[in-house]
Each structure stands twice: as structure tokens, then as C-alpha cells.
Amino acid sequence: MAPSRARECKADGVTASSGRGDDRGLTVRVKKKSKLKESSRQWLQRQLNDPYVRRSKIDGYRSRAAYKLIEIDDRYKLLRKGMRIVDLGAAPGGWCQVAVERTSASAAEAHVVGIDYLPVDPIPGATILELDFLDESAPARLIEALGGDPDIVLSDMAAPTTGHRRTDHLRTMHLCEVAADFAIRTLKPGGHFLTKTFQGGTEGELLAMLKRNFRSVHHVKPPASREGSVELYLLAKGFRGAAKAGPDGAEEDDEEAGPLG
């Protein structure tokens, strides 16, 4: 069996050599002579050597992104038993898995609803809507499926990349703003909002809106977010409620792009 697997790897241009990139002392390398494009070869090599990717397979999470939510929650203690959670941009389901685990005594008692235009395999304890969040019917359908107002709105949404960094940033910021508007319209007083954004200098209006409506706003860069990535998370805590949102804004606790640890 082992020789056969080795031949398969060689045929695909994948080899393993001694090093420190693997828990067992192996580093997986994809040969430059493989049929893959250079960008695809580098992505595959990074995935094969990523410790979070390996951990997700061992722990049963659908993506390495699950550890971003785990690390943020370990520090800020957001998720508690009995909470109602909305997960925007849920595919492939890692954040829903974590939300169910941390808010439910059992899958039967879970109140987690995810939404994505991509199909998501069923997750015990979560309701998944296969629908574009930008569809005008999405907010009402989310609240109906949840059975009440959310305690936390999570968003790991990012726009499909075009290859033009400025355009990609603006499109993702638009999703952040729409997610923030949904959170402000639906959250229970005292609730929290966590969203992915990108560093790029155009998030001033979003920050101002969050500070008006939440008691504190944090920039968070969890360890599971790859080094060198412009990815960043905004955490808005303590929703003031529609009647309590004042013009002076929230007290800011801004970590900029520093590590979470």
C-alpha cells in the first residue's frame, strides 16, 4: 500500500522530505515541474503544510477558519449556552460547528442559523439557508428560522476575488457594511457583532457606525489568520439597542492589527 501511495504522490508532483513543516518532521513540497500553475502549486503546498489544516481534519472541523472563531471566543468569551447565533457566509460550515458546540447543551437545543449561496452539507444542530445574503428576503428568513432576535451575528463573508486588490477590498467592505446594518437592525440589546474585513483604509464609515451602536469596538487578528494576510476582524461588543444608540459613539478598545494572544 505504501509504495502505491508514493507513486501517486510522485505522479501528482508532490513529494515529502525531512523538515519542520509537519508534525511528524516532514515538509510536503509540490514539484515545480508539476502540471499546476505556479499560483496553484504554491497554494497547494501551503495547504499541505498548514498546521491548522491538519488540526481541522483531526478535530473534525470543515475548515481551518473554525480556529479563528475559537481563538477569538477563547479571549473575548462571546459564545454562551442558550444563545441564538446567525452565521453569515457559512460555507463550508466551520463557524456553525463551533457555534453549535459552544452555545448548545445538545444539538436538539441549538439555535444556530447559517446562510450562504454555496451549498453546505447538513450540520447537526444548525439550520442552513442556501440563499445569497444580499437577497432582499434573506433577513426575514434568517430571523424566522432562528425563532427570535440573535444574541450574536457572525460574518466571515468575503467577496469572490477578481485579482484586483482595490476592487476586492471595496466589495468585501460592502458586505461588511450590509452585515453590520443587519446586526444593528436585529440584535438583542447587549449582543455582539463579529465580521471579517480587510486592512485597507476605507473602513472609517463602518467603524463610526459600529461605535455609535456598540459599547466597544475591537480590531482582532487571531493567530489562525495567516501571517502576511490583510484579513482582519472587527468585533463590536455590547449592542446599545435601537433606542439607546447615541451619537457620541462607543468607547473604543482598538487593537489595530496586533496578534490575538
Catalytic residues: 196
Q: What is the DSSP string of 65-80?
A: THHHHHHHHHHH----
C-alpha cell at 32: 515545480
Contact 160, 167 (CB under 8 A): no
- Cα–Cα dist 113/106, whole Å: 15
Q: Rounded to the nearest 5°, which phi and psi values hold at 104?
A: -125, 135
- Cα–Cα dist 67/46, whole Å: 17
Tell me the Ramachandran region of residue 58: left when phi exceeds 0, alpha when psi lies from -120 to 50, beta otherwise: alpha
- Cα–Cα dist 94/76, whole Å: 19
Which residue blocks in the chain are alpha helix, DSSP H? Answer: 2-11, 38-49, 51-59, 66-76, 94-103, 138-146, 165-186, 204-213
